Structure 1
Amino acid sequence: MATNKFQAIIEAALMVADYPLTVSVIQNLFKEEEQPSSTEIKAILSAIRDRHIDSGIELQEVASGYRLQAKAEFSPWLSRLWEERAPRYSRAFLETLAIIAYRQPITRAEIEQIRGVTVSSNIMKTLLEREWVKIIGYRELPGKPAILGTTKTFLDHFSLKSLSELPTLADFKNFETQDSQIQVQLALENSQSEPNDSEAIPQERNALLDEDDEGMLVPA
Structure 2
Amino acid sequence: MQAITLEAVKRETGKSAARRLKNQGYVPAIMYGKDMTENIPLAVEYTKLQKLLQKYGRNVLLNVVVNGTTHTALIKEIQEDTLKGKIIHVDFQRVSMYEEIEATVPLRFEGIGLIESKGGIVQHQLWELTVESLPDKIPQEIVVDLSHLEIGDTLFVKDIPVPEGVKVLDDPEEIVVSILVPKEAGEEEEEEGEGTAEG
Q: Which TM bucket (shorter chain)?
A: under 0.3
TM score, norm. by length of structure 2: 0.27
TM score, norm. by length of structure 1: 0.25
Task: Give 1 or 2 for the bigger CA radius of gyration.
Answer: 2
